[in-house]
A and B are shown apart, each in its own frame.
Chain A
Amino acid sequence: MTAADTAEYRIAHLRDRLASEDIAELGVRIEQRGTGVALYGTVSSSACREEIMRLAEEELGGLPLHADLVVVRSDAPEHPEELT
């Protein structure tokens, strides 16, 4: 099997690690895109984002990684929603 063939298993292993290790992050989408892997979603902190990328580089070494991980905002809302 080539690296591309096994990418889906390596992505599954990365998901397992994100769920089971200290980071406990289940909210990130990880998908094969062309010859690389896209990681996207909203995470709780910049430290969390860095840890996800560290684990991704460990598990998916050799595959191009395209990350779009946004740190969640903690501002109060500016407007309510009126439910009439």
Chain B
Amino acid sequence: MIRVAAVGDIHLGPDGAGTLRPAFETLPDCADLLLLAGDLTRHGTVEEAEVVAGEVAGLDVPVVAVLGNHDYQSDQEAAVAAALERAGVTVLEKDGVTLQVGGVRVGVAGTKGFGGGFAGRSGGEFGEPEMKEFIRYTRRCADGLRGALEMLAEAGCAVRIALTHYSPVPDTLAGEPLEIYPFLGSYLLAEAVDAAGADLAVHGHAHMGAEHGMTSEGVRVRNVAQPVLGRAFAVYHLPVHAAESDGQAADGDRASVAGRPAGVR
């Protein structure tokens, strides 16, 4: 069994330093890894990222993150990611990482993701260039997620987790206004998860949403936005299945698919 702790939307700034650290220090007793599902800062500045880094630095569990839309607000997302990486956080965007947890190879595939809406009520690549690029950007995120999950399967991961900021399913948006669902997630992310397979999908972004959901193929989805959880993080116990193949990846390796052609889908 793998113990996965997760939280998103912690929105830390200088005034939030130290608020989560006491709870995070309990992680080695209750979790094998910590996932951060984006919107870690308020405005996406390096100063704020260093506050986040201070909350997780030196924890005795690996920390894997994706960024969220707030982390892009100041156009410093690369510097924000670098500040987190300096504290030992693995920041994923259209790539994945393998971790060794008590003899079990665990893979996490991540992308921020983006919006567009859900099947039957979604935007399409049609009309103005801005509209087409909106959906194409989401599609690139979804393609990257799918490619990373597939690479983690090839690497022999017995447990695979999809980590996004935007939601792959509408279930976990229940409580949000229906009118803004297209800005909260996209079915393309769920399609990628179902195509490649995963044991769990974790996201944030929807503060007024619900914790529990599921994709069409039965992959459990959890909205771990801190306002939804009402606590510092959630912990999910995942059963371990036999690995699908004997991969050769060394643990901690990144499985980047950023350069893959879009035809992966």
Q: Could you tell me which A residues sit within 8 Å of B by CB distance?
A: 22-24, 26-27, 29, 41-42, 44-45, 47, 72-77, 79-84
Task: Give 4 new A-B contacts, CB below 8 A, not counting A73-B230, A75-B231.
Answer: A24-B11, A24-B43, A72-B227, A84-B239
* B208 adjacent to A29 (CB under 8 Å): yes
- Cα distance, A77 to B24, chains bound together (Å): 10
* B73 adjacent to A24 (CB under 8 Å): yes
* B23 adjacent to A74 (CB under 8 Å): yes
* B230 adjacent to A83 (CB under 8 Å): no
- Cα distance, A26 to B208, chains bound together (Å): 11
A48 to chain B, nearest CB (A): 9
Q: Which of B13-21, B81-89, B93-101, B138-146 contacts A (4 or more CB under 8 A)?
A: B13-21
Q: Is B132 an interface residue (CB 8 A)?
A: no
B220 partner residues in chain A, CB cutoff 8 A:
83
A74 partner residues in chain B, CB cutoff 8 A:
19-20, 22-23, 226, 231-232
- Cα distance, A47 to B207, chains bound together (Å): 19
Specify which of A75, A80, A84 is in contact with B232 (CB 8 Å cutoff): A75
Q: Is the interface of A mostly helix, strand, loop or mixed?
A: loop
* B208 adjacent to A82 (CB under 8 Å): no
- Cα distance, A26 to B30, chains bound together (Å): 31
Specify which of B11, B19, B237 is in contact with A80 (CB 8 Å cutoff): B237
Q: Is B160 an interface residue (CB 8 A)?
A: no
- Cα distance, A84 to B199, chains bound together (Å): 10
B38 to chain A, nearest CB (A): 13
A75 partner residues in chain B, CB cutoff 8 A:
23, 231-232
Lowest 8 CB-CB distances: which A-B pairs, in order? Answer: A42-B227, A27-B207, A80-B235, A76-B23, A24-B42, A76-B26, A74-B232, A82-B237
* B11 adjacent to A44 (CB under 8 Å): yes
* B208 adjacent to A80 (CB under 8 Å): no
- Cα distance, A47 to B16, chains bound together (Å): 11
* A45 adjacent to B208 (CB under 8 Å): no
Q: Is B3 an interface residue (CB 8 A)?
A: yes
* Chain B residue, CB-CB nearest to A70: B227
A29 partner residues in chain B, CB cutoff 8 A:
177, 208
* Chain B residue, CB-CB nearest to A75: B231
Q: Is B131 an interface residue (CB 8 A)?
A: no
* Chain A residue, CB-CB nearest to B31: A80
* Chain B residue, CB-CB nearest to A20: B73
- Cα distance, A22 to B229, chains bound together (Å): 25
- Cα distance, A45 to B232, chains bound together (Å): 14
* B15 adjacent to A45 (CB under 8 Å): yes
Q: Is B70 an interface residue (CB 8 A)?
A: yes
Specify which of A24, A42, A77, A79 is in contact with B70 (CB 8 Å cutoff): A24
- Cα distance, A73 to B177, chains bound together (Å): 24
* A83 adjacent to B239 (CB under 8 Å): yes
Within 8 A of A (CB), among B186-233: 199-200, 207-208, 220, 226-227, 229-233
Most buried by B among A26, A41, A47, A77: A77
Instruction: Show 29 residue pairs from A and B whose CB-CB distance is below 8 angstroms, ordered by the A residue.
Output: A22-B43, A23-B42, A26-B207, A27-B207, A27-B208, A27-B227, A41-B208, A41-B227, A42-B226, A42-B227, A44-B16, A45-B15, A74-B19, A74-B231, A76-B23, A76-B26, A76-B231, A76-B232, A77-B231, A77-B232, A77-B234, A77-B235, A80-B30, A80-B235, A80-B236, A81-B234, A81-B236, A81-B237, A83-B199
